[in-house]
């Protein structure tokens, strides 16, 4: 098998040039499908980052009614601190809550100025070790016997509590939908790419049927006849993959900063490990599509 | 070199068979004509030897290998032992004489060194050393057939099959091709020629196997074409 690999590479490039229209079609479909793969993987990375950052901010805030007995508040705080799922519990007074509110409203101070009394309740802010525990801890708080005594609205426990789980759940639902749609699109495009590669290899086989006939006649081995076509399919999809990578690279470098500026509160970023993973996914899946597509064509159109 | 025992081939079940009970022994170094009308089974005979098809019955042995038991992936290696020449030359139009012949060595993985020494040698043998850089459309029919013989022989196969090698050529050119094939035969290569060419067969006085309706009706050494005499 000591034949120069140069032969196969040369042959696949020559063939690529010879029916470049079909090859271009195959390249473009693969490009688009891989672009979509990359975009959906990339966006799910970004969304996951956002979800995680929201989760990090997940804390439970217990609103306290005005004039709640200090010993009851202390008791609740102590009970929560005893729970090992809880990292820390901070007490926010009415005045601190107002300060916080003023800080978020600094663009329109007149709203704050109109306030005659401080309408904001004091609160206990519960930080958790693991965001996953939010629902459990919320249940524990609701079950605590001092909770009704101090809660801002004891008859409606849900309104005396504020926690980020709702947002997180919505985000997760959103990413699920995004992912399902993405997978459906990718599957479709992958099928189309397969058909395109299949077709372009079929044409390549047809264009070279005379050569193939002579190769069989003089005893070229089966793999020798097949390899250039297989490589041509892989070459087409590799070009598609590289184009898709390039496009995604341009998007990350030029578009992401703009988005980040527009939405400064969301952490739009892709780590370099994620970037490498995405690149690997694109290149490998591209090569698989190329190899499978041309293998199909070889099985159907090249009897050796 | 070639041994067929009770070989029969039927393409379509209810139609008459293409070959019936063919028994042939061809020894190393023989020069054999295979004659017969169109449809007499000549092409089937050739295809069986190249193992493009398998017989319905019987056994075939070519160059020491049992074609019935042979695995598909080994067929290319059988064909390296059989040089093939056809009526329509089967040359690649975008390759020069040299490249056409070199191609046959290239695709079976011969080294550049082997190609560089063997191709000019075989082109000298067929008398085309001054047409090395010509493309097939710049060559006459006889010259093209010489290229195709060079390609078939460049690998020095022990067996050379020619299917109507002079079918497209005028008598004078045909004679040249026949004497070339005869010269190749003198190097010890077995040569089997399927042909219609009555004058050629009659003038060569070699072994003749005649087929009719898929049966061997005559097999004589130093024979003649023989139909309608």
Phi, psi for A208 (deg, rounded to 5): -115, 20
* B28-to-A120, A206, B7, B190, B191 alpha-carbon distances in Å: 110, 38, 20, 6, 9
What tokens does A184 get? 């459906």
The more confident residue out of B224 and A280 is A280
- How far is the C-alpha of B148 from the C-alpha of B160, rounded, in Å? 12
**Residue B176 pLDDT level (bands cut at 50, 70, 90):** very high
What percent of chain B has a predicted confidence (pLDDT) above 70?
Answer: 99
Distance from CA of B105 to the nearest CA of A (A): 8
- Tell me the pLDDT of chain A averaged across its residues: 80
What number is the ipTM of this complex?
A: 0.85
Distance from CA of A4 to the nearest CA of B (A): 9
pLDDT at A96 over 50: yes
pLDDT at B38 over 60: yes
**Residue B7 pLDDT level (bands cut at 50, 70, 90):** very high
What tokens does B76 get? 């290319």
Interface probe for B, chosen from A217, A224, A226, A228 (most Cβ of B below 10 Å), is A217
What tokens does A236 get? 């087409």
What confidence score (pLDDT) does residue B179 get?
A: 93
pLDDT digits (tens, 9 = 90+) for A161-174: 777 666 667 777 77
DSSP 3-state assignment of A100?
Answer: helix
- Using CB atoms, which residue from B73, B92, B108 is nearest to A222? B73
Average pLDDT over residues A228-238: 87
What confidence score (pLDDT) does residue A167 get?
A: 66
Which of the residue ranges A90-99, B78-87, B91-100, B199-208 would you say has the lowest mean pLDDT? A90-99
Beta bridge partners of B212: B215
What tokens does A43 get? 């966006």
pLDDT digits (tens, 9 = 90+) for B118-172: 999 999 999 999 999 999 999 999 999 999 999 999 999 999 999 999 988 898 8
- How far is the C-alpha of A93 from the C-alpha of A124, rounded, in Å? 9
Cβ contact A200:A23 at 8 Å: yes
What percent of chain A has a predicted confidence (pLDDT) above 90?
Answer: 2
**Residue A36 pLDDT level (bands cut at 50, 70, 90):** confident
Average pLDDT over residues A121-137: 80
Average pLDDT over residues A50-61: 70
pLDDT at A177 over 80: yes
pLDDT at A61 over 70: yes
Greatest mean pLDDT range, A19-28, A129-138, B90-99: B90-99
What confidence score (pLDDT) does residue A142 get?
A: 81
What confidence score (pLDDT) does residue B229 get?
A: 45
The more confident residue out of B18 and A136 is B18
pLDDT at A2 over 60: no
- Which are the contacts of B73, defined by CB distance < 8 A and separation ≥ 6? A221, A222
Interface probe for B, chosen from A4, A218, A303 (most Cβ of B below 10 Å), is A218
- Which are the contacts of A122, defined by CB distance < 8 A and separation ≥ 6? A63, A64, A66, A68, A91, A92, A93, A94, A97
- Tell me the pLDDT of chain B averaged across its residues: 91
Residue tagged 């504020």 (tokens): A162
Domain with CATH 3.30.70.3040 in chain A: 59-163
What confidence score (pLDDT) does residue A113 get?
A: 75
pLDDT digits (tens, 9 = 90+) for A132-157: 777 788 888 888 878 887 877 777 77
Cβ contact B155:B108 at 8 Å: yes
What confidence score (pLDDT) does residue A181 get?
A: 82
Residue tagged 């799910």 (tokens): A44
Largest CA-CA distance found in chain A, in angstroms, rounded: 100
- Look at A221 and B108 and tell me if their CB atoms are within 8 Å: yes
- How far is the C-alpha of A299 from the C-alpha of A82, rounded, in Å? 69
Phi, psi for B57 (deg, rounded to 5): -135, 165
pTM across the whole model: 0.68
Set of chain A residues whose Cβ sits within 8 Å of the Cβ of B81:
219
What confidence score (pLDDT) does residue B92 get?
A: 92
Task: Please check whether residue A68 touches B, CB under 8 A.
Answer: no
- Look at B109 and A218 and tell me if their CB atoms are within 8 Å: no
> How does DSSP classify residue A60?
E
Ramachandran region of residue B79, left (φ > 0), alpha (ψ -120 to 50) or beta? alpha
- Using CB atoms, which residue from A210, A219, A225 is nearest to B79? A219
Distance from CA of B198 to the nearest CA of A (A): 27
Query: Rounded to the nearest 5 degrees, what angle is found at the Cα of A223, between the Cα atoms of A222 and A225?
Result: 65
Q: Give the sheet arrangement for strand B207-212, strand by strand.
A: B82-86, B159-163, B190-195, B31-35, B207-212, B215-220
What confidence score (pLDDT) does residue B96 get?
A: 94
**Residue A55 pLDDT level (bands cut at 50, 70, 90):** low
Phi, psi for B4 (deg, rounded to 5): -115, 130
Which CATH code for domain A59-163?
3.30.70.3040
Phi, psi for B206 (deg, rounded to 5): -115, 180
**What angle do the packed helices A272-301 and A20-56 form, to 10 degrees?**
150
- Look at A221 and B78 and tell me if their CB atoms are within 8 Å: no
- Look at A215 and B107 and tell me if their CB atoms are within 8 Å: yes
- Using CB atoms, which residue from B92, B152, B155 is nearest to A211? B92
Greatest mean pLDDT range, A104-113, A263-272, A284-293: A284-293
């Amino acid at each position: 098998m000591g034949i120069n690999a140069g032969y196969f590479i040369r042959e696949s490039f020559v063939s690529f040039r010879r029916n470049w229209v079909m090859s271009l079609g195959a390249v473009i479909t693969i490009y688009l499908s891989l672009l979509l793969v990359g975009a959906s993987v990339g966006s799910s990375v970004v969304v996951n980052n956002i979800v995680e950052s929201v989760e990090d901010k997940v804390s439970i805030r217990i609103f306290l009614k005005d004039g709640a007995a200090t010993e009851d508040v202390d008791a609740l705080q102590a009970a929560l601190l005893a729970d090992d799922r809880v990292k820390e519990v901070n007490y926010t007074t009415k005045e601190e809550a107002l300060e916080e509110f003023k800080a978020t409203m600094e663009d329109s101070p007149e709203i704050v100025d109109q306030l005659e009394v401080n309408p904001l309740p004091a609160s206990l802010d519960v930080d958790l070790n693991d965001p996953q525990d939010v629902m459990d801890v919320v249940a524990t708080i609701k079950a605590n016997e001092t909770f009704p005594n101090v809660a801002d609205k004891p008859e409606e426990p849900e309104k005396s509590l504020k926690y980020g789980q709702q947002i997180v759940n919505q985000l997760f639902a959103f990413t699920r939908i995004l992912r399902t749609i993405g997978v459906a699109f990718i599957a479709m495009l992958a099928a189309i790419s397969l058909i395109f590669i299949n077709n372009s290899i079929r044409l390549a086989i047809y264009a070279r049927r005379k050569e193939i006939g002579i190769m069989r006649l003089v005893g070229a081995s089966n793999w020798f006849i097949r390899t250039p076509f297989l490589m041509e399919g892989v070459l087409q999809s590799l070009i598609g993959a590289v184009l898709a990578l390039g496009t995604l690279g341009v998007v990350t470098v030029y578009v992401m900063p703009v988005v980040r500026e527009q939405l400064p509160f969301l952490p739009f970023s892709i780590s370099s490990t994620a970037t490498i993973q995405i690149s690997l996914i694109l290149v490998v899946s591209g090569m698989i599509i190329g190899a499978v597509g041309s293998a199909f064509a070889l099985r159907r159109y090249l009897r050796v | 070199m070639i041994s067929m025992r009770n070989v029969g081939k039927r393409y379509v079940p209810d139609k008459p068979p293409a070959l019936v009970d063919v028994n042939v022994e061809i020894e190393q170094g023989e020069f054999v004509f295979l004659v017969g009308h169109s449809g007499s089974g000549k092409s089937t005979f050739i295809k069986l030897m190249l193992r493009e098809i398998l017989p319905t019955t019987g056994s075939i042995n070519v160059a020491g290998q049992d074609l019935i038991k042979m695995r598909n992936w080994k067929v290319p290696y059988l064909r390296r032992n059989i040089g093939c020449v056809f009526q329509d030359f089967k040359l690649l139009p975008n390759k020069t004489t040299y490249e056409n012949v070199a191609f046959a060595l290239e695709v079976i993985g011969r080294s550049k060194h082997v190609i560089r020494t063997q191709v000019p040698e075989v082109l000298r043998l067929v008398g085309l050393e001054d047409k090395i850089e010509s493309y097939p459309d710049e060559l006459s029919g006889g010259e093209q057939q010489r290229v195709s013989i060079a390609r078939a022989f460049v690998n020095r196969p022990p067996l050379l099959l020619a299917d109507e090698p002079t079918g497209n050529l005028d008598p004078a050119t045909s004679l040249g091709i026949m004497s070339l094939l005869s010269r190749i035969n003198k190097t010890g290569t077995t040569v089997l020629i399927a042909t219609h060419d009555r004058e050629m067969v009659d003038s060569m006085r070699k072994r003749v196997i005649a087929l009719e309706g898929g049966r061997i009706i005559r097999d004589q050494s130093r024979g003649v074409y023989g139909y309608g005499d």
